[in-house]
Chains A and B, each alone.
Chain A
Amino acid sequence: MTDYIIGHYAYWFTFILMMIGFYGMTMKKNLVKKLIGMNIFQVSIIIFYVSTAVKWGGTVPVLDLNISIADTSKYINPLQHCLMLTAIVVGVATTGVAFALSISIFKRYKTLDEAVLIERMIKDNESDK
């Protein structure tokens, strides 16, 4: 059991990081804090991917003349890193759109606090009637 926990320590930390992000996204009342949670959440998944590429004693996947090409166990898997480059770009773009949205929310409601926002939205509903 102890071996199991210690042997997978990278996954546990990723999991904790992910839950922190998830908590921020769902429980925090301030929209910017939600976005911070969102970024932590995305980063945890990036770390998860990258950690799966690790090999003990592996080196960067660039041809080393001392190691033969066929000896793939000496090179770490580069694919995850490439995938995560795309995921990072996606994350940046999402954050950008999210900030643009929060600016537009702030312009319309003059607040970024969810409780106040809902209050003002309900007020709008009543004035519509």
Chain B
Amino acid sequence: MNLTNNSPVLIPLLFLSTGIMTPVLAMKKEWLARWIALGASAASVALSIFNLIRVINVGKPIHYKLGNWNPSLGIEYVLDHLSAFVILVINAIAFLVLIYAKKSIESELPGKEVPYYASVLLMLCGFNGMMITGDLFNLYVFLEICSLTLYGLIAVGEKKSSMAAFTYLIMGTIAGCFYLLGVGFLYIKTGSLNMADVRAILPFMLDQPAVVIGLCFMTLGLGIKMALFPLHGWLPDAYTYAPSVSSALIAPTGTKVASYVLIRIFYFVFGITFVSKTLPVADIISWLAVVGIIYGSIMAIAQKELKRMLAYSTVAQVGYIGLGIGLANPFGLIGAVLHILNHAVMKACLFLVSGNFRLKLGHSNIFKLDNTIRKKMPWTMAAFTIAALSMVGLPPMAGFFSKWYLALGTIEKGNWLFLAAILVSTLLNAVYFFRILEKVYMKPIDSQSSNTHEQGTYHDHSVKENEETVKRDEVSPSMLFPTLTLAAALVVLGILNAIIVDGVIKYIIPKGL
């Protein structure tokens, strides 16, 4: 048992074993489920950090042969800068959300803690497996593991959630099957399922129609999973009606993992010259992404429910990642990977804030949010403000830098329309976030009782009175801590972005890009 050698496989294994064991261990003691989930998640974060440091030190991909079978016969796990980085992001977010989960689950899903935490662990097993595997079919299996648990995690929400989950299941199954079909075509032609093998064999048969069809099917399937613009139909309902914790877990991670797989397939299996030069797949992706950015932002403005607004905003933000992937130049790829990190942190923070609203106010309707909240929940609102500013892309926050790299990518590509789309969507982001900030911060606090006061003294008096009468009603520290950590992380990540790009993301860019 050598920890260093086996570290790549430990994370999925850890989640798989704890996910299966949780219902058994916690059968009599229900409080145990939460601690198992937290423990596994904390261990996974530690392992992810360890893996990332190991990859940075080694400087080249680490291959792990499962059961010591050689690749192409056996399954191989590959730990490189890209996978180690995204794994750390996903696990860290999941850990923070799991710290948050206790009160929210107790109020929204009483009595369902044990199966809930078990599903969360299995979902994380699926995500980590998808990211670390170097085998195309193994990826499909992990994709289905996480999809199945996602349907369950969404379906336990409010009344409409089961229908939303059903729609997601139909579309998710189509996506999974399309991906499987694409893998089938690739397998027919290359005779291998190992990504590195396929990468080595493919250059000799790129003119074959079967390879092209395989690429198209895989892109379509992953496009549905990452909710790329015309394929995003399942996302708004699913994220809106899911329980708060599920939304906060799935929204930052689910679409990101699918984006990661798309990067993996495009840049490391087919090779970017094939995807962008021979066939215009990358171009199509970037055009769809640009339409999605604008569409998602406009739809977000039209929503009156905070969670639904955030869901549409996710469609727009996935568009940024898709645009970065489709640009097929170094800046675009850096922007896409950095945006995976930034958007995960921002969306997790915003969904946690909406969860706080739901717990304390009983709703998250934008029109019902009023200026008393700034007094009731000052810390929650502070976190919301930072995350909103980051979404808009104000410079010290993290959100600015990924957009900056994407903008550089569009300039390098010479496509001014894309640049315009990024700038316009920034304005649209500002519209839908500032309308909430304006409602909460800009108006002086007054209440209906003050209407009886005389006109002259009415204003000052009522403010003074109500500033005192509105009681602070902040959520508990266990919920506040993750929210504020994520908000603070946005500032820190923004300041440290040069270190992240130079230390990790720079090495992701494949040769010849």
The reply to whether B177 and A42 contact each other, CB–CB distance below 8 Å, is yes
The reply to whether B166 and A41 contact each other, CB–CB distance below 8 Å, is no
Contact code string A53-88 (vs B, CB < 8 Å = 1, else 0): 000000000000000000000000000100100110
Q: Within the complex, what minimum Cβ distance (angstroms) separates A86 from chain B?
A: 6
The reply to whether B144 and A45 contact each other, CB–CB distance below 8 Å, is no
In the complex, which residues of chain B have a beta carbon less than 8 angstroms from the beta carbon of A109?
163
The reply to whether B188 and A41 contact each other, CB–CB distance below 8 Å, is no
**Is A102 located at the chain interface by the 8 A CB criterion?**
yes
- Complex CA distance for A102 and B184, rounded to whole angstroms: 31
Number of A residues, CB within 8 Å of B: 30
In the complex, which residues of chain B have a beta carbon less than 8 angstroms from the beta carbon of A100?
155
The reply to whether B180 and A93 contact each other, CB–CB distance below 8 Å, is no
Name the interface residues of A81-103: CB closer than 8 Å to any CB of B.
83, 86-87, 90, 93-94, 97-98, 100-102
**Is B160 located at the chain interface by the 8 A CB criterion?**
yes
- Complex CA distance for A97 and B148, rounded to whole angstroms: 7
Name the interface residues of B202-222: CB closer than 8 Å to any CB of A.
none
Contact code string A97-129 (vs B, CB < 8 Å = 1, else 0): 110111011001100000001000100100000
- Complex CA distance for A10 and B468, rounded to whole angstroms: 78
The reply to whether B184 and A86 contact each other, CB–CB distance below 8 Å, is no
**Is B29 located at the chain interface by the 8 A CB criterion?**
no
**Is B404 located at the chain interface by the 8 A CB criterion?**
no
The reply to whether B177 and A45 contact each other, CB–CB distance below 8 Å, is yes
- Complex CA distance for A97 and B153, rounded to whole angstroms: 11
Q: Within the complex, what minimum Cβ distance (angstroms) separates A112 from chain B?
A: 10
The reply to whether B170 and A94 contact each other, CB–CB distance below 8 Å, is no
**Is B174 located at the chain interface by the 8 A CB criterion?**
yes
Given A49-B184, A83-B137, A93-B144, A25 and B174 touching (CB < 8 A)?
yes
Given A31-B166, A98-B166, A121-B160, A104 and B155 touching (CB < 8 A)?
yes
- Complex CA distance for A97 and B169, rounded to whole angstroms: 9
Q: Which of B162, B165, B169, B188 contacts A94 (CB 8 A)?
A: B169
**Is B181 located at the chain interface by the 8 A CB criterion?**
yes
Given A25-B174, A117-B163, A98 and B180 touching (CB < 8 A)?
no
In the complex, which residues of chain A have a beta carbon less than 8 angstroms from the beta carbon of B165?
101
Q: Within the complex, what minimum Cβ distance (angstroms) separates A36 from chain B?
A: 12
**Is B443 located at the chain interface by the 8 A CB criterion?**
no
- Complex CA distance for A52 and B155, rounded to whole angstroms: 37
For B152, B155, B166, B176, the residue with the greatest tally of chain A CB atoms inside 10 Å of its CB is B166
Given A90-B141, A97-B152, A97-B169, A105 and B163 touching (CB < 8 A)?
yes
In the complex, which residues of chain B have a beta carbon less than 8 angstroms from the beta carbon of A52?
184, 187-188
- Complex CA distance for A117 and B162, rounded to whole angstroms: 12
Given A31-B166, A52-B188, A101 and B155 touching (CB < 8 A)?
yes
**Is A29 located at the chain interface by the 8 A CB criterion?**
no
Given A38-B173, A124-B159, A45 and B181 touching (CB < 8 A)?
yes
Number of B residues, CB within 8 Å of A: 25
Q: Within the complex, what minimum Cβ distance (angstroms) separates A49 from chain B?
A: 5
CB-based nearest A residue for B237: A121
- Complex CA distance for A98 and B180, rounded to whole angstroms: 20
In the complex, which residues of chain B have a beta carbon less than 8 angstroms from the beta carbon of A83?
137
Name the interface residues of A9-51: CB closer than 8 Å to any CB of B.
22, 25, 31, 34, 38, 41-42, 45, 48-49
- Complex CA distance for A38 and B167, rounded to whole angstroms: 12
- Complex CA distance for A101 and B148, rounded to whole angstroms: 11
The reply to whether A101 and B162 contact each other, CB–CB distance below 8 Å, is yes
CB-based nearest B residue for A98: B169
Given A52-B184, A83-B137, A87-B180, A105 and B162 touching (CB < 8 A)?
yes
**Is B287 located at the chain interface by the 8 A CB criterion?**
no
The reply to whether B144 and A108 contact each other, CB–CB distance below 8 Å, is no
- Complex CA distance for A50 and B16, rounded to whole angstroms: 29
CB-based nearest A residue for B151: A97
Given A52-B184, A101-B155, A124-B160, A94 and B166 touching (CB < 8 A)?
no
Q: Within the complex, what minimum Cβ distance (angstroms) separates B60 from chain A?
A: 29
Q: Within the complex, what minimum Cβ distance (angstroms) separates A121 from chain B?
A: 6
In the complex, which residues of chain B have a beta carbon less than 8 angstroms from the beta carbon of A31?
166
Name the interface residues of B139-179: CB closer than 8 Å to any CB of A.
140-141, 144, 148, 151-152, 155, 159-160, 162-163, 165-166, 169-170, 173-174, 176-177
* 27 A-B interface contacts by CB (under 8 A): A22-B174, A25-B174, A34-B170, A41-B173, A41-B174, A42-B177, A45-B181, A48-B181, A52-B184, A52-B187, A52-B188, A83-B137, A86-B141, A87-B140, A87-B180, A90-B144, A90-B176, A97-B169, A98-B169, A101-B165, A101-B169, A102-B166, A104-B162, A105-B162, A105-B166, A108-B162, A117-B163
Binding site for B on A (CB under 8 A): 22, 25, 31, 34, 38, 41-42, 45, 48-49, 52, 80, 83, 86-87, 90, 93-94, 97-98, 100-102, 104-105, 108-109, 117, 121, 124
Binding site for A on B (CB under 8 A): 137, 140-141, 144, 148, 151-152, 155, 159-160, 162-163, 165-166, 169-170, 173-174, 176-177, 180-181, 184, 187-188
* Cβ-closest 4 pairs across A and B: A104-B162, A90-B144, A105-B162, A101-B166
